[in-house]
Amino acid sequence: MKYSISSLLLLAGFASFAQSTKTIKQSGNPIFKGWYADPDATIFNNKYWVYPTYSAKYKEQVFLDAFSSDDLITWKKHDHILDTSAVKWANKAMWAPAIVQKDKKYYLFFGANDIQSDQEIGGIGVAVADRPEGPYKDHLGKPLVDKFHNGAQPIDQFVFKDKDGQYYLIYGGWKHCNIAKLNKDFSGFLPFEDGKIFKEITPDNYVEGPYMFIRNGKYYFMWSEGGWTGPDYSVAYAVGDSPFGPFKRIGKILKQDPSIATGAGHHSVIINDKKGTYHIVYHRRPLTETDGNHRVTCIDEMKFDANGMILPVVITNEGVKAQKVK
């Protein structure tokens, strides 16, 4: 079949138009429906998982949901993986889950009851399951941390695995952050060499929401600043040579964009070692919302400069491109 030059040009034009208008599938933000905050994101069994706080009034925060995805685009909801019926000492304010896999078990750390003093029942608990989606049951029958140590409210827990295989609990609200060495079955703690259980590692401007990871032998410590109900909520970081620091604040890397959303903070990071990518998963408040609890979970890329410093994250409505774990 022969084509005239004009026909070939026309076909080429159509091909060019089709290519230019082809859209690359992206997650969009928020990544799933509903009011959710404080997300802990990770990879289990070649799937992405997000464990957030159900963002509502404290008395309504009596359960935790989870979400899974094969590609960062389509998310499956796993309802009520844990609720207060399985944790007899918890009755409200189930916050900021932190998940870790160890010895073929999944351990879900959570805050409950928003205690304001050592005389109240509550603090940081641990639940355990055989699968990432649960159901989870109370591991201890009591809180793991139920007192204020070094001024830190027992909330916003994160579990960090060091290079030597040691697990640490890093946690704290009320502008104080502690680190403690977990024992093998996560039923308690091991003392440090000086006999202390809880060491304070609070950097400048710390408020809550700690997170830690290792990159190129350095320890990146991240946290949230500002008030969680306000537009100034944000994430800053420091870099140290050990999980104990010392950590000198470098600066903010996540904050609001008044044209996109406000109150961007309390995050975690999905690290895909196979592909060398970093995705920050965080919550923010839509511009249409004034209710403090109206927070949504979002995802964007996190990148580094040539010196290993974290570049400021650009928050978007588009989110990220599809990516399989492998």
Residues labelled catalytic: 38, 208
**How many Å apart are CA 129 and CA 44, to the nearest integer?**
13
Taking each continuous run of H as one helix and of E as one strand, the counts in the chain are 1, 20
Contact in structure between 108 and 126 (CB atoms under 8 Å):
yes
Contact in structure between 12 and 56 (CB atoms under 8 Å):
no
**How many Å apart are CA 218 and CA 247, to the nearest integer?**
11
- Tell me whether the omega of the peptide bond preceding residue 246 falls within 30 degrees of 0, making it cis: yes
Element (H, E) at 269: strand 261-272
Which are the contacts of 298, defined by CB distance < 8 A and separation ≥ 6?
A: 29, 30, 31, 261, 264, 281, 282, 283, 284, 315, 319
**How many Å apart are CA 15 and CA 22, to the nearest integer?**
11
**How many Å apart are CA 199 and CA 177, to the nearest integer?**
8
| Residue 152 DSSP code | B
Cβ neighbour number for residue 257 with a 10 Å cutoff: 15
Dihedral sign computed on CA atoms, order 235, 238, 242, 244: negative
